[in-house]
Amino acid sequence: MRSAPTILHLDMDAFFASAEQASKPSLRGKAVIVGGLGPRGVVATASYEARVFGVHSAMPMAQARRLAPNAAYLVPRFGFYRSISEQVMGLLRELSPLVEPLSLDEAFVDLEAGGAAWDEESARLVGARLRADIRAVTGLTGSVGLAASKMLAKIASEQAKPDGLVVIEPGTERALLGPMPVRTLPGVGPATGDHLRRAGITTVGEIAEAGEDELVRLLGKAHGHALYAMALAHDERAVVAERETKSVSVEDTYDVDIHDRVRVGLEVQRLADRCVRRLRGAGLSGRTIVLKVRRYDFSTLTRSETLRGPTDDPAVVREAAARLLEAVDTTGGVRLLGVGVSGLADFTQEDLFAQAAGERGVEGFLEEDASEVVAEERVGVGAGVGVGVGERLEVAERRWVAGHDVRHAEYGHGWVQGSGLGRVTVRFETPGSGVGRVRTFRVDDPGLEVADPLPLVSLRGVAAGGGV
């Protein structure tokens, strides 16, 4: 582990919700909750104003509505978030060639590799300047942690939230970690945490006191050894700029269980097409097709088939997914379906027999729209970059999606506040305007159309101010 706090961890503050507040003047300073709005939807991000009511990410949306009934509930706009993320990641790459994105809103940076910092003072200056630059370019805030290792830098950024900077000075790590709960350490989830608690170990300091032999006895050699090392603040993981993509996948959760076997088959074909679109978008192909089915009783089945060679042909993936579905009993209903591709490569070797058979399936690609489930491409440590991992967010079937952009021939740019009973309510405002006026239209109003998000107002050159 290095002797200076030159590993930086950036975590944008309530990223999705903050982006929506910056984009919509009427929501600034108000409780905003972003996620799936269907009966089985989950919260992706809650603004800090919403967190006061106890709302947090991964919470069922129905529970969030009970806790914060007056909050603004919006469906995610991942293309918009991705455009902001690219700006932020660009600022990080100006600091160092070693930038390791973990998700759209989170990344590690090795400041030594780019010569941006070499000691505590220079690292602190870089962190402060980065926060100001992010604010100037995007109008959003991010929290920065600086330490001598990735583990500690991430802990520091958590302590810095919201909109702060924390530096963990080398030599102080053990004292800092000691009283923290065991769940603070990477790799300690609910199951491992409960196992340690039953053994009387609840803090990081108690892990260190237990000793490596005891940890190995409790958790096994690999996990026990790694956990003991982290409890001693030893983390030699390097910041890695490029990581191997392991899988590409899509899945849909349905508001009402699907009982019709024919519809289940059509849904699988549609998911296969979406999966291939992502696969091709990443310039990849794959050999192993994976089908995921969650049944009415919450039991989850996963089936896979490995082809003779990698493919990115939609007909091939559809045919393989259909074969896998034949072996799954869907009696009683299906609440979730997913199709994925693993065993990835950057070339294809077509399975001609499967391709010919697949010509009987759905032709061409099916266009994704707001009625489909969308997935935040959130990547964890050790996962692939960019596609196929993360929360799945339900979107109720509607043309006008809450929070999404529209344009009216007379009133200009706005966003959907809600729709139903043949009506759609729109607030007409832009990132640089004041709070806009609200109008209601028939859903088939010829003057109203779906629009692309407007960019946030750049504050480059303007002194950074308070949080959004």
- The pLDDT tens digits of the residues spanning 269-283 come to 999 999 999 888 777
Is residue 204 located within the same domain as residue 258? no
Is residue 266 located within the same domain as residue 329? yes
Is residue 217 located within the same domain as residue 258? no
- The pLDDT tens digits of the residues spanning 210-219 come to 999 999 998 8
233: pLDDT strictly greater than 80: yes
Is residue 317 located within the same domain as residue 367? yes
Sign of dihedral through CA atoms 123, 129, 133, 135? Answer: positive
Is residue 225 located within the same domain as residue 260? no
Query: Containing domain of residue 187, as a range?
Result: 175-231
Peptide bond preceding 431: is omega within 30 degrees of 0, i.e. cis? no
Is residue 251 located within the same domain as residue 372? yes
Residue 431 forms part of a structural domain: no
Per-residue pLDDT band for 102 (boundaries 50, 70, 90) equals confident
Q: 10-19, 94-103, 418-427: which has the highest mean pLDDT? A: 10-19
pLDDT at residue 467, rounded to an integer: 36
Is residue 321 located within the same domain as residue 279? yes
128: pLDDT strictly greater than 60: yes
- 């696969």: which residue's tokens? 279
- The pLDDT tens digits of the residues spanning 312-370 come to 889 999 999 999 999 899 989 999 999 999 888 755 443 333 333 333 332 222 223 33
Q: Which of 322, 342, 376 is the last residue of a domain?
A: 376
Integer Cα distance of 326 and 410 in angstroms: 52
Is residue 369 located within the same domain as residue 262? yes
Residue 70 forms part of a structural domain: no
Please state whether the predicted TM-score (pTM) of the whole model is above 0.85.
no
Paired residues of 33 in beta bridges: 46, 73
Integer Cα distance of 255 and 41 in angstroms: 8
263: pLDDT strictly greater than 70: yes
258: pLDDT strictly greater than 90: yes
Residue 161 forms part of a structural domain: no
Find the CATH number of the domain harbouring 276. 3.30.1490.100
**Token pair listed for 248:** 């590409």
Q: What is the mean pLDDT of the chain?
A: 84
Residue 277 forms part of a structural domain: yes
DSSP for 423-463, written as a single string: EEEEEE--TTS-SPEEEEEETT-TTEEE-PPPPPPP-TTSP
Residue 441 forms part of a structural domain: no
3-state secondary structure of 36: coil
Is residue 260 located within the same domain as residue 195? no
CA distances in angstroms from 269 to 134, 272, 366, listed in the order given: 41, 5, 9
37: pLDDT strictly greater than 90: no
Find the CATH number of the domain harbouring 220. 1.10.150.20
Closest CA to 416 of 425, 408, 407: 425
Contact yes or no for 315/309 (Cβ under 8 A):
no
* Total domain count, the chain: 2
Residue 388 forms part of a structural domain: no
Least confident residue range of 127-131, 243-247, 358-362, 448-452: 358-362
Closest CA to 360 of 332, 323, 412: 323
Peptide bond preceding 162: is omega within 30 degrees of 0, i.e. cis? yes
pLDDT at residue 106, rounded to an integer: 94
Integer Cα distance of 426 and 416 in angstroms: 5
Is residue 180 located within the same domain as residue 265? no
Rounded to a whole number of angstroms, the CA Rg of the chain reads 24
- Range 336-356 burial, b when 16+ CB lie within 10 A, else e: bbbbbbbbbeeebebbeebee
Top-confidence residue, 298 or 392: 298
- 């000075």: which residue's tokens? 169
Contact yes or no for 348/342 (Cβ under 8 A):
no
Residue 21 forms part of a structural domain: no
Q: Which of 339, 359, 376 is the last residue of a domain?
A: 376
Integer Cα distance of 96 and 14 in angstroms: 25
Residue 330 forms part of a structural domain: yes
Task: Please compute the mean of the pLDDT values over residues 415-435 and round it to a whole number.
Answer: 93
Integer Cα distance of 387 and 129 in angstroms: 30
Task: Please compute the mean of the pLDDT values over residues 441-463 and round it to a whole number.
Answer: 78
Contact yes or no for 184/177 (Cβ under 8 A):
yes
Is residue 299 located within the same domain as residue 198? no
Q: Which of 231, 260, 278 is the last residue of a domain?
A: 231
Percent of the chain with pLDDT over 90: 62
Told to judge if 106 belongs to the known catalytic residues of this protein, a careful annotator would answer yes
Chain CA centroid to CA 280, Å: 20
Integer Cα distance of 89 and 265 in angstroms: 40
Per-residue pLDDT band for 190 (boundaries 50, 70, 90) equals confident
Closest CA to 404 of 60, 54, 77: 77
Nearest 10 degrees: Cα torsion 23, 101, 401, 467: -30
Q: Which of 49, 100, 106, 173 is catalytic?
A: 106
Is residue 182 located within the same domain as residue 276? no
